Each structure stands twice: as C-alpha cells, then as structure tokens.
Chain A
C-alpha cells in the first residue's frame, strides 16, 4: 500500500515536471546575460530593459489588448442578448441556433480562419486590424453563450414577471432584477472571450492585414529568423500575469478558474 502511494507521487511529479520544465526554462533564460540558449553566462536584467524598449513587442502587445478588449465586449453584448431572447423562441428554432453555435467551437481553427479570409477577400474587404476583430468576435460569441445561457435558464422568467407585476417598467426590471442575477455568467463569458482572443494565433494569422502583429503572430514571425531573448522576458511576464489573474479570480469566485478552463477545453 505504502509503495503504491510513493509510485503515485512520483508519477504526478514527473508529469508536473514535463508540464513546467519548458516554461521554467524560458524564465531562467530571460535572466541570462548572453544570447545563447545552451549556456548560462551570468545574471542580467537587460533583456527586460530591451523588451520594454522594443517597439515591435510593445506594438504587438498594444494590438493584442485592443483586439481582445473590443472583441470581448462586442461578443459579450451579442451573446448575452441572444441568451435573453432564447426562451422566447420555439424549441425547433432554439435547437437550430444552438447547433449553429457549436460550429465555430468544434471546427478546426485553420478552417475558421481560412473561410473568413476567403469571405473578406471575395467581398473586397481589405484585411486589416478590423477584419481580425470581426473574426475574433465570431469565435468568441459561442463561449459567451456557453457561459450566460445556464444562468438565464436558472433564473427563468418569474423574477422578471414579478418585477413587472410590482409596477417596474421593463427597463427597470431588466437592469435592477435580471442583469444583477446574470452578472457572474456575463463576467465569466467576457473573461473567456478575452482569453480566447489573446491566445489565438491561427485565425489572426489568416485574417490580419500586412504589418499588423499580435503577440502570437510576432512570435511566429521570429521563429523563422531566430528567437530573440527579449521574447523570453516577455513570456516570463505573460506567465506571471496569467498566474496572478488566475489566483485572483480563484479567490474572488471560488472555483471559477477551473470552470473557465473546462470551457476552454470544450473548444
């Protein structure tokens, strides 16, 4: 029995090592003085200084945040409105819409990206940052629907109707009664959309205009010419930010991070 539990611990430790060794390597190398990846030549923070001075990186960072914010806000509004209207549809329409909702979720990213690009080009729309945002909204909406819909179902119509009976106008009933109840679902849908947008490479790769880079496309571009250590510094910062955000959202809302991770895995 004892031997078994040691074996289990060793197995878990090996898998955790496999998962973290690459990320930790990047973190260690970001403090390496020299350029070479295979050799430690001394501690230095200069890659971090270079990173903040690097216009390409700062530009890509800015684009990533703008694209993620705009597409998360728009997809949250569209997805939430849709969920609110769903109970009013007959069951046949509802199942058709929900089936359509699954297409971007289950389709391969390369097909989503290429088909959007074909449409933009066929309609004479020049690829730009705008087309990237339109494409991101498309694949973000389904995640918002997945987060908000259970909350709408849980709430039902009774609260809203009770508010109307008590003399509230539809707007007041909506903002004072319905929206506060849906808040957690809407918030996690927004976060989900934001993360999916930041994480995306493939759809951005096919729908971006010339010269527009997000963090993902910038890294991909560097892979061909050789990765600069400034990117190690960047990935260290990304990891630390993700870690802090996840801890914070865990503390704030119980197990929401695992719920979100689950959603992400549904894609």
Chain B
C-alpha cells in the first residue's frame, strides 16, 4: 500500500474533471464562433444590460452577506454560553441545511406567491394582498434563507473555541459586557467571519436558481445572463467570457479569505 501509483486515478480525475474543463472555459471565452482569438466576450460585461446584471448581483449578494452576518453573530454569541443540550440546539439550526436546496427555495415561493400562504393569511384576517414575490426583497430573503448556516457555522466554530479564561480575565480587569464582545471576542472571531463572508458571498453572487424562482425571471442577475447564453441564447462563447469575469470576482474573494484566515481556522 501507500504506493505512489495510488494517486493515478485522482490525477486523471483532476486533469479530466477540473483542469481540462477550465481550459475549455477559457478557450471558449477568449475566442469567437469561428475560433479566432478575441476579447469581445470579456469586454461584453461592459454592455449596459450585462453591467446592470453584475451590479445587481454584487448589490444583492452584499446585502445578503451583511444580513447573514448580523443575524448569525448574536446566535453564535448566545450559543457560546449555552450549557445544557448545546449539541441539540446547534443541530436545530443546521437541520434545514440538509433539506434539498430546491425544495427550500420552492417553499418560499409557496409562501410569497400572489395566491400563496402569506397572502391567504392576510386576506383571511381582512388585510389587502401584498406584492411579495418577484421583488428584489424576495430574492435577497431567499438568499439569506439558503445561505445563513454557511455564515453561522464558521463563526460558531471559532467563537466556541475561545477559552472562557480569556473572557473571565477581561471581566476581572474591569471590562464591561460590551467591551468583552468588541475587544476580545470580535477580534478573535475574524477568521470565522471572513470565511463565512466568502462562503455566503460566492454562491449568492453566482446564483441563477433563486433569482429565477423568487424573481419570476424578471430580475436578471449575472448568473441568469450566463445560464441563458448557454441554454436559450446559444452563444456559448459569450457565456464563457462572462463566466471568466465572474471567476475573477471569486478569485478576489478567495484572496481575501487567504489573507485573513491564514491557518484555516474558520474551516477547521
């Protein structure tokens, strides 16, 4: 055992499943339909429609990331001090994550739709119907719902590892509750926060499913534009070029995580 040849299937898979496909993506993105090298598919991001979609994606995913952070940090702080049945409580927060992602998004569609559950309840108690679905708010809420655990987990991991002796020492030295949070816990949890931010931001930035299901196909994000170029529009070169632009944003956020989370603590 432990023969070096054991790596062969893995290497084949990395080459065939990751490297060649990525090379194909770059080839399609940097050529036109006749196979000539060109930058027009990359520069197409500056067309008004595409630029608007990218801007919306950045805006919605940033909003989603901020909301996720604001919601999960207090939970992680509370969980830190839970003494009884902590495992069960953490389990309750993570369970929804295991239900199929499409079913979870579909559930919000059922709640928000014009003839949906929330409007049903509103009209039952005599209030006028509200327009909930196909709004930016619906999309951001769907993102928050789907990705919240990805923020909660790394922050909870890091915070639960901070020894109580540290906070006790801070209290002994006269720190207030707020000071313990801002001066002790917050700086120590930066790696968890940073990896939470990337884990929420990347899928939110690139989604086309949530915007399609909760935006009714009327609000186009960059993911929708790319998906349509491949399925309906049939301009694969353009779709690949826009994917490359999107990858640049992913790389930037990975560089960001590498800078703050050197030891990979948020993931451990």
Inter-chain CA distance A107–B19, complex, in Å, is: 12
Is A42 among interface residues, defined by CB-CB distance under 8 A? Answer: no
Q: Is the interface of B mostly helix, strand, loop or mixed?
A: helix
Q: Which residues of B contact A (CB under 8 A)?
A: 1-7, 9-11, 13-14, 16-22, 24-25, 28, 71, 74-75, 78, 87, 89-104, 106-111, 113, 115-117, 119-120, 123, 145, 148-150, 153-154, 157, 199, 202-203, 205-206, 208-209, 212-213, 223, 226-227, 230, 236, 239-240, 243, 246-247, 250, 254, 267
Inter-chain CA distance A95–B173, complex, in Å, is: 44
Tell me the residues in window 79-119 of chain A with beta carbons closer than 8 Å to chain B beta carbons: 79, 81-82, 84-89, 97, 100-101, 103-104, 106-112, 114-119
Given contacts A22-B145, A137-B13, contact A16 B93 (CB under 8 A): yes
Q: Are B25 and A246 in contact (CB under 8 A)?
A: no
Q: What residue of chain A has the Cβ atom nearest to residue B12's Cβ? A: A78
Q: What residue of chain B has the Cβ atom nearest to residue A107's Cβ? A: B250
Q: Which residues of A contact B (CB under 8 A)?
A: 8, 11-12, 15-16, 18-23, 25-26, 29, 36-39, 77-79, 81-82, 84-89, 97, 100-101, 103-104, 106-112, 114-119, 122, 134-135, 137-138, 141, 157, 160, 170, 173-174, 178, 195, 198-199, 201-202, 206, 215-216, 219-220, 223, 227, 231-232, 235, 238-239, 242-243, 246, 250, 255, 257-258, 261-262, 264-267
Q: Are B96 and A199 in contact (CB under 8 A)?
A: no
Give 8 nearest A-B pairs by CB, closest first: A38-B120, A22-B107, A138-B17, A115-B21, A85-B6, A82-B10, A108-B206, A81-B6
CB distance from A44 to the nearest CB of B (A): 18
User: 13 A-B pairs, CB-CB below 8 angstroms?
Assistant: A11-B75, A16-B93, A37-B120, A38-B115, A81-B6, A107-B247, A160-B1, A216-B100, A216-B102, A258-B87, A261-B153, A262-B267, A265-B199
Inter-chain CA distance A206–B209, complex, in Å, is: 13
Inter-chain CA distance A29–B10, complex, in Å, is: 46
Q: What residue of chain B has the Cβ atom nearest to residue A260's Cβ? A: B98
Q: What residue of chain A has the Cβ atom nearest to residue B250's Cβ? A: A108
Residues in A with CB closer than 8 Å to B95 are: 242-243, 246
